[in-house]
Each structure stands twice: as structure tokens, then as C-alpha cells.
Amino acid sequence: MKKKLFLILIISLFVNFSFGQNTIDSLKQILQEENIDTSKINLLIKIGNEYNSDDSVIFYYNKALSFSKEIKNQKFELNVLMYIANFHKETNNNETAIEFYEKANLLGEKIDNKKKRDKKNISSANLSIGFIYEKQGEYEKALKYYTKSLDISRELADTNKIAQGLNNFGLIYKRLGNYDKALEYYQESLLLCEKANIKRGTSFCLNNIGLIHKKQKNLDKALEYFEKSLEINISLKDTNSIGGANISIGKVYKEQKKYKKALKHFTKALNLFEKVNTERGMLYCYVNIADIYKKMNNFNLALQYYEKSTPFIEKFNDKKAKVENLKGLAEVYCGLSDSTQNLSQKNANYKLALEYALESLSLAESMNALPDMNDAYRIISKIYSGLNNFELAYQYSQKFISTKDSLFNTEKTKAIEEMEAIYQTEKKEQEIEKQDLLIEKKDAEAKKRNIQLIAFIIGFLLMIVLAIISFRNYQRKKKDNILIQSKNTELEQANEEIIAQRDMLQEQKEKIEVIHQQITDSIKYAKRIQQAAMPTEVSLNTLLGDSFVLFKPLHVVSGDFFWAKKVNKYIVFTAADCTGHGVPGAFVSMLGISLLNEIVQRNDITKANEVLEALRNQIKISLKQSSDFGDSKDGMDMALCVVNTETNELDFAGANNPLILIRNNELTEYKATRNPVAIYVKEKQFESTIIKLEDNDVIYLFSDGYADQPGGEKDRKFMKKRLKQTLLDIHKEKMLNQKRILTDTLEDWKGSTRQIDDILVIGVKFHI
């Protein structure tokens, strides 16, 4: 047996120096001498690998599968299933590939062993299924299988596969338009690759992070990442990866409108892919080169390259590339329409463009690919505008604006601009209220004038009657009649003026009602912006574990806010109370959220007191605060915690707001520094307190809204003392029950009394 295996090895090595058919014949000769055992299965796989014909490959693979079942060797059966599935994947028979990968999964679950090789096969099967679904645009299914693969890789402590899995998650979230989530996975993957010196993985991560920066228009930063990726690929002499990096660099130059530089990099990438016959890479080059010629208004060349990409798109069933191709064709025909004066040709090109654009939208919607949907809406709006169908053009422009807002990354300057706009709308609302009062006043004055006019008329008529009775002279009567006629004319003129004023006031009232509705819609939209900036209770539970949030804004938008973020091994979360409530308070809260993201996530500051110090400095800069009299003193009170998930230590720092800890039925209040996060007369350094967490510890953070709410029999404040006792009474309840009890207690206390401030309470139970 050993001699035969040695002979197989010699023949396998000899394949590099002889014709393929001689190798196959030699392997078949040994096959005839073998019994049905694992050596024969290996030989069948080797013979299948030597064939170029699909039918021959599958024939020998199926024989190997049949022999594996015959000798009841499930490990070999699993291995052969993976060979068959991989072959179908490489030949783009995706449905058949998925079928065999699933068979491998089922068999892998049945095998009762702890060998890493079998688990790696199962992980690879799930990874490959996820890859196929990703290319088909079925992102939810792709995430499902990527998750299974990643879980097994973590169990095996396979750093390479873990990094690859995290990178795949990032790709999915990028295509879904969730750039923050994508960047989080890319960065985690990059750290693993750099730590384990996985150069190829490091290159992929750098390239993908660069793509996120490109999407966010940080083009210089994107170019920096792409060039680092290219440098690694050159050192690895990886032709395909060098081509991919050149595509990425070309995309940056395309965004910068440096089309000649972009075309140079795309052409270089195409030459590399053609050299090694990488068809998928050639596809991406064709699409990008076509896009460059389109932007340079060379529509004929653009069409040629789009047509070159079409067969590859169909071959790989690459829905993402197909969407790009359809969008590009739509824009080319739009450009052809704009460049011709022939009305018939113009309309024909627009209609052809519309067909491509609508098909791209349908495909993007089926994949839930928000960035591609956004592009499609923009193109369709432009087409309908060219066809003079302004109603549909407006509808699609609104969809474009709406999806663009969904892709929006809430940054400091944009948050300030948005909330400033809302603040201005509230000022307009106040002006409308003044206009309403003015209209009411004018209505009252008009009624008063009418009464005076009627009284004048009655008095005047009485005077005429008395004149007639007093003066019986005919001439006198004639003069009186002339006078009456004159007064009637004046009366008609006055009446016409009153009617004109009434119509003008009615028109003003209708305009004001329209403006009022627009402002109301703007404030509701502001609420959605604020909600999007803060974490949902579901995401907060995912991050903090067993927890609740009681959040009751006084108005549509709130001056209180809560925020949480995980950075490496630290979980940072806070409950904050900004100056004021309503729109002004929400303005400050959006600024606070934006600055916290920058301080914690970008600047990597994870010490509680340092976060507050950095936040105070940024608040003073952003709001131009100084010690001068009359300057803005806006800011916030807050309690901020940083949990070290490795040491189970909690780092607390407070600005006027404390932290409550309940342990073993005893309540401890950790005092805050008596300073706001803003300019202050007696400014102090924020102090930090380290708490070693124990199992079943419960902590609470809150603003002053709950304790300050008036109610009860004597309409007095609830008070912090009563709140602390309530928390002590309920702390053993489940967290959701605690939220319900606090809500019911507040409503019972408040009764018919109106709420006077925003209310925020956060509770977290730790399970060590």
C-alpha cells in the first residue's frame, strides 16, 4: 500500500513536466489495481482534477462519492461533497453548488468528532454559500451563512477565517448602505490581520476601509488606504489584488473628476486581469472604464464597454454589477438625449434610458441595496424631467432625497445645520401665531367698522327724515336727495373696501395654514433624525445586556438623550440632560451625540472623566462659549459610565448627575462633580470613580425630569429621595417590569398635572 501511495505522489509531481493525458492514463492504471478503500477515493479525486471537461470531472467525483458511501466513511464523503460543490461554484452552477454545500453541512452535523479538519469543511461550506448569495444580491441569506461560518471559526480559534468572516460582514453592510456598521467590522478584521501578520487579509481590509471613506467623500483618506493596500499586494506579487487596488484608486480619481488618471489605473487593472484571465476582474474594469467615458461625454465608447461587460454579468449572475451596468446605460442614453436637437431621437433615447433605469431600480429593490436605489431614483427623476413629465420627476426626486437622508452619516457640522433649520422653523411658528393674533384683531376692527358704518347710515337716514319733515320745500327735498345719493355712493365704496380686506385676510389665513403644516412636518422629521442618532432599546440591550430605558420627551423632540457605543473592550454609555427642552434642547443633544461619537470612536478616549473633559472643551468651541457676559452658557448635565468587559470594572464620571448602585439590597449613590458640561464660573476637573462590578449589581442613570415632576395630593415634586426608595423597592424585578413600574408610578403621581420636563431613566443589571 505504501509503495502505491508513493507511486501516486511521484505521478502527481510528474504532471508538471508531462502531458495531462499521460498523467490521467497512469492514474487510471493504478486505479484498476486498487481495492475500494480511501486510497482509491483519493485517486478518483486526482483523476477528476486532471480533466478539463465538466462531465468527466463530475463523473469521477461522483464515483469517489459512491465509494465513500460504500465503505461508510463519512469523513471522506464530506470531503468529496466539498470537491463537487467547489467545482459547481467555480463553473457558476450556483444552485447545484448550494445543494452540495448543504449536503456537506448536514453530514458534518452528523459526524461525532472534534477534528478541526471536518469543522473547517463545514465552515468553508457555509462561507461559500454566503458568498454565492451575496453575489446574487440576497444579503439576508448571505448574512445567515456568514454567521454560521464565523461561529465555527471562532470555536476553532482560526484567526484567518475569523478575519475573513468579519470582512464579509462589512461587505454586506456596505452594500446595504450601513457604512458605520461596515466600518466597524472592517476595522475589527484589520486588527486581527495585523496582529497575526496576515498580509493578504490586511490588504483586503485596507481596501474596504478605503471604499467606505470614498462613499463618505473622504477622498484623500480613501486614497491613503488604497495605496497602502497596493503596496502590500505588490510585495505579495498578487496580480489579481494589484488589479483590484488599481480599480479602487481609479474610483477615487473618478470622484475627483481626474478622468485621465482614473482611466490610466482602470486600463492598468484590465491589462493585469487579462494577463491571468480573471474574468470577474475584467468585468469590473469594463464597467468602470465605461463610466469614465460616460462622464467624459464619449457615449459611443461608453456603450462599447458596457456591452463588453454584459456577457460576464450574465455568466457570473452578479446582480450588483448588473445594477451598475443598467444605471450606466441609462445615464449614457440620457447623455445622448441631451446632446441631440432631434426631438424624435431625443424622446427615443430618453425612453430607452427609462427602461434601463427602471430595471436597475427593480433589481436594487430586490436586493434592498439602498445606495443603488438612491442612484436609480436620481436618474429616473432626471429622465422624467427630460420627458417633461414633471409630476413623476418630482415624485422620484423626493424618493432620491428620502433615501439620501437614510444613507446620511450624522456628523457634527451637519447635525448643527439640521437643528439650526428646525430652530428657525420654530421661530417661524411663533411668527405665525403673531399673524393669527393680528388676523383676529383685524377681524374685530372690521366688525367694529361695520357697526360704526351701520350706525352712521341709520343716523344719516334719520337726519334725512327729519330734514324732510322740517323743510317741506321741494328744492330742499331735491338737495337732500342729491346728498343721499352721494352718501350711498360712499357707502358702496366703503363696502367694497371691506369685502376686499376680508378676501385678503382669508387668503393670508390659507397661506399661513400651509406654512404651519410645513413647519409641523419639519419638527416631526427632526424627531426622526434625533431617534436615528440615539440607539434603539433593542440595540442598547444587545450592547449592555439586561437593561431598560424609560424615555418620555416633553415635546416632539427632546433635550434629554441617551447614547452607547462599544470601542474594543470598552462599553461607553450615558444619560444626559441638555439645557432647555423642545427644539433648543434637541439642538444641544444632537451636538452632544455627534461630539461623543467623535471623542470615543474616532479619538479612542475611553476614560470617563477624560470623555467629559473632552466633551466640555468641544461644547465650548462649538457654541463659542467664553467668560464674557452675555455669551451662551448652554450645555448639559450627565452621568457617563465606561465598562471594561475584560476586568468587569465600571468607570463613572458625572456632571451634576449621580450614579445609583444597588448591591445586596443596599443603595449607594456616587456623587457627580458639581459642574456642567459647558462654560462655568468655578470650573473643576471632572472626577472619576472605579467600581468593581459583582454579579446582580444594578445601576441607574437619570436626568432630573422624573424627580422634579409635580403631582400627588399637594401637587409637589416627586423628589430624588422618593425615586431612590422606589428604585430600591423594585431592583430585584426583571428590567422590563422595572420600566413598567416606574412608568405606572410616574403616571399615578402626575395624575392630571402636565409634564414639565423631559424624563430619562436608564437601568442596567450586570451578570458576571
Torsion of CA 625, 631, 632, 633, to 10 degrees: 80
Residues 678 and 473: their CA atoms lie apart, in Å, by 90
pLDDT, mean over the chain: 82
Q: Is the pLDDT of residue 754 over 90?
A: yes
Mean pLDDT for 449-476 is 80
Among the ranges given (425-439, 537-551, 564-578, 601-615), the one the predictor scored with the smallest mean pLDDT: 425-439
Q: Is the pLDDT of residue 1 over 50?
A: no
Mean pLDDT for 311-323 is 82
pLDDT score at 676? 95
What's the Rg (C-alpha) of the chain? Answer: 37
pLDDT score at 748? 94
Exposure string for 135-161, b = 16+ CB within 10 A, e = fewer: bbbbbebbbebbebbbebbeeeebbeb
**Maximum C-alpha span of the chain:** 154
Q: Which three cell numbers stand for residue 566?
A: 462599544
Residues 382 and 548: their CA atoms lie apart, in Å, by 47
Q: Is the pLDDT of residue 305 over 70?
A: yes
pLDDT score at 67? 78
Sequence-ordered alpha helix ranges (H) in 574-690? 582-596, 608-622
In the chain, the percentage of residues whose pLDDT exceeds 70 is: 86
Beta bridge mates, 565: 572
pLDDT score at 183? 84
Residues 551 and 545: their CA atoms lie apart, in Å, by 18
**Residues 280-293 pLDDT 10s:** 889 889 989 988 99
**Residues 153-197 pLDDT 10s:** 888 888 888 898 898 899 888 888 888 888 889 888 988 898 889
pLDDT score at 494? 64
**Residues 605-653 pLDDT 10s:** 989 999 999 999 999 998 888 765 445 678 899 999 999 999 999 999 9
> Which residue's C-alpha cell is 501511495?
5
Q: Is the pLDDT of residue 20 over 70?
A: no
Do strands 547-552 and 759-765 pair parallel, antiparallel, or not at all (unpaired)? Answer: antiparallel
Contact 669, 720 (CB under 8 A): no
Confidence band of 112 (pLDDT split at 50, 70, 90)? low
Backbone angles phi, psi at 357, to 5 degrees: -65, -45
Distance of CA 409 to the CA centre of its chain: 7
Backbone angles phi, psi at 219, to 5 degrees: -70, -40
Q: Which residue has the higher pLDDT, 632 or 300?
A: 300
pLDDT score at 115? 59
pLDDT score at 417? 37
410 dihedral zone (left: phi>0; alpha: psi -120 to 50; beta): beta
Spatial neighbors of 569 by CB under 8 A, at least 6 apart, are 644, 645, 646
**Residues 533-546 pLDDT 10s:** 788 888 888 899 99
Backbone angles phi, psi at 408, to 5 degrees: -65, 135
Nearest residue to 564 via CA among 524, 517, 514, 611: 611
pLDDT score at 553? 93
Could you give the C-alpha distances from 160 to 142, 165, 521, 711, in angstroms and in order?
19, 9, 50, 61
Confidence band of 423 (pLDDT split at 50, 70, 90)? very low
* Single-letter amino acid, residue 465: V
Do strands 716-717 and 759-765 pair parallel, antiparallel, or not at all (unpaired)? Answer: unpaired
pLDDT score at 441? 76
Q: Which residue has the higher pLDDT, 47 or 306?
A: 306
Contact 707, 719 (CB under 8 A): yes
**Maximum mean pLDDT: which of 395-404, 448-457, 459-468, 737-746:** 737-746
Confidence band of 14 (pLDDT split at 50, 70, 90)? very low
Q: Is the pLDDT of residue 495 over 80?
A: no
